[in-house]
A and B are shown apart, each in its own frame.
Chain A
């Protein structure tokens, strides 16, 4: 027999699982520290690649000047400036990445908790229906 309440729960759960829940359920499998750690490691590599690309583009743009004046440039100071720029960019993006993923983790955890609560409610409905069916079958046998 069709139960409207059960169908409503099942529809909500399926809609969540196949929509936003796909990412949330993956995120919720991690511990918070692991999830943030993985995001920060990925950020380190991506920001480093981005910095190299940016530097390459700027050097390509000023290639003629650099080639003409290479002997005048204080390489140590130049290298220090590049390093400070890298550390600054990495620092800024680390803060942004940490904040973004921390908020995302909290939101995913909350939604997954609601999902599991609804799943427990569905299980209770199934158990109730099973008991009712067993009771009806026993009554008919008697």
Chain B
């Protein structure tokens, strides 16, 4: 546990020192993952599947605000949809515009959930995103998480219906429209998934705000249980095919990752919690103070003095080094010397000679 806490403190220190470099690198990695995932699912337009285009777009996104990454991902989806047909591109544009007009203009801070949710659905750790946002953000993040879910299922619909869409003729516009929109409006798995993520966000948010010990831990566990329960109940009621083993395995994985997230973000020691009561002119205050668990390494200062200065006008240079004393010192203790072994007369003669 101490090792983990030290590792966390080191991470915090490194991030604090170099966040100007680390943030763009992380955004670049996220952009690359998002763009390559889109290309691997619906890579129908050769321009966007070109690795150099992907690299350039990722480089641009890493120095821009987060909203630009979402916009570029949207443009890629529209581009690939256009390669399938004008109807698919039209539906993609209308869907993205509707999401922006009806939802995203109120929750632009949580726009990255629109990218995280499809990635989580793709990698099978769906519950992680609603649990994470329920822990750290507020209930309005259901809008962006829901939009991310709809985007994922739209991409999956295009991927599934691509052979049919590419093979049909231009006269079947209405049937092509209906084919794509059935994949969204009549997709029972998507409806169940939407219900599940909304309920999980609300449950997790409600639980972690409670004034009880281990609120975050309870929220994570119950959030995972609620997700499995809603998915299974939804599958039974709406007669949708929900695979049980991937669902449970993915939710357990999400739960573990959520605990890692909780360790990094909200690690407190409930055993040393204090309750305080005080008042001022306007209010009575009932405060619960829970200390964070952290390890601070002591710093020692080493001053080294250089040789005598060249001229009497120069001051001797002083070098100051700060070193951290490790928690468990591995330094070997010097061999103890007894007083009887010391030759004091010889030492006195030497010191007199130096004088």
B191 in contact (CB, < 8 A):
no
Q: When A46-B101, A54-B98 are in contact, do A60 and B106 touch as well, CB less than 8 Å?
A: no
Least Cβ–Cβ distance between A48 and chain B, in angstroms: 10
Q: When A49-B101, A53-B98 are in contact, do A64 and B178 touch as well, CB less than 8 Å?
A: yes
A37 in contact (CB, < 8 A):
no
Q: How far is the CA of A60 from the CA of B102 in the complex (A)?
A: 20
Q: When A46-B105, A96-B106 are in contact, do A60 and B177 touch as well, CB less than 8 Å?
A: yes
Q: Which residue of B lies closest to A46 (CB)?
A: B101
B94 in contact (CB, < 8 A):
yes
Least Cβ–Cβ distance between A66 and chain B, in angstroms: 10
Q: How far is the CA of A56 from the CA of B101 in the complex (A)?
A: 15
- How many chain B residues have a CB neighbour from A under 8 Å? 14
B185 in contact (CB, < 8 A):
yes
Contact of B94 among A47, A57, A63 (CB under 8 A): A57
Q: How far is the CA of A93 from the CA of B105 in the complex (A)?
A: 11
> Which residues of chain B from 84 to 114 have any CB-CB distance to chain A below 8 Å in the complex?
91, 94, 97-98, 101-102, 105-106
A126 in contact (CB, < 8 A):
no
Chain B residue numbers with a CB within 8 Å of A93 are 102
Contact of B97 among A53, A61, A63 (CB under 8 A): A53
Return the CB mask of A83-110 against B: 1 if under 8 Å, else 0.
0000000000100100010000000000
Least Cβ–Cβ distance between B273 and chain A, in angstroms: 30
Q: How far is the CA of A64 from the CA of B98 in the complex (A)?
A: 23
6 contacts between A and B (CB under 8 A): A53-B101, A57-B181, A60-B181, A64-B178, A67-B174, A100-B106
Chain A residues packing against B (C-beta within 8 Å): 46-47, 49-50, 53-54, 56-57, 60-61, 63-64, 67, 93, 96, 100
